[in-house]
């Protein structure tokens, strides 16, 4: 008998309960809530040890936030950004592709970012 574990579409990593819980939490946000993205980032920076984020992961999060056009974010708005790894690396001070992928995985593990599958 073989056992199959559900996997993510990114690197065939196993899906954990923590990843599923962070996705459920992200979908349960109050729809009329509006926040300033850089204030939220400041709070995340202050709580980075409790959240489990590294300084390089925060550099990537900052770069991802810079791709979001508006200064405010709301749950019913479009919170999706889709920079290429090369563009993201440029805004993260020239971080190598392997380091970039590793720290994006940390952001996903912390529940700060949700990856979406893309046909591209």
Tell the residue number behind the tokens 């204030």, with chain if given: 39
Each residue of 59-95: b (16+ CB within 10 Å) or e? bbbbbbbeeeeeeebeeeeeeeeeeeeeebbebbeeb
Q: How far apart (Å, rounded) are the C-alpha atoms in residues 42 and 25?
A: 21
The neighbour count for residue 24, using CB atoms within 10 Å, is: 9
Please tell me the pTM assigned to this model.
Answer: 0.75
Q: How far apart (Å, rounded) are the C-alpha atoms in residues 97 and 42?
A: 25
Phi, psi at 36, each rounded to 5°:
-85, 125
Per-residue pLDDT of the chain (120 residues; tens, 9 = 90+): 455 444 454 555 566 666 667 666 666 667 778 889 999 999 999 999 998 999 999 999 999 999 988 888 887 767 778 888 899 999 888 899 999 999 999 998 888 888 776 665
58 burial level (CB within 10 Å; 0-12, 13-18, 19+): buried
């Amino acid at each position: 008998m073989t056992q199959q574990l559900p996997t993510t579409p990114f690197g065939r990593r196993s899906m954990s309960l923590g990843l599923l819980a962070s996705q459920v939490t992200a979908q349960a946000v109050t729809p009329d809530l509006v926040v300033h993205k850089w204030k939220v980032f400041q709070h995340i920076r202050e709580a980075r040890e409790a959240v489990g984020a590294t300084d390089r992961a925060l550099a990537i999060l900052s770069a991802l936030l810079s791709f979001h056009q508006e200064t405010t974010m709301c749950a019913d708005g479009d919170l999706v950004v889709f920079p290429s790894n090369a563009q993201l690396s440029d805004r993260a001070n020239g971080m190598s592709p392997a380091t970039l992928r590793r720290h994006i995985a940390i952001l996903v593990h912390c529940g700060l970012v949700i990856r979406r599958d893309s046909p591209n």
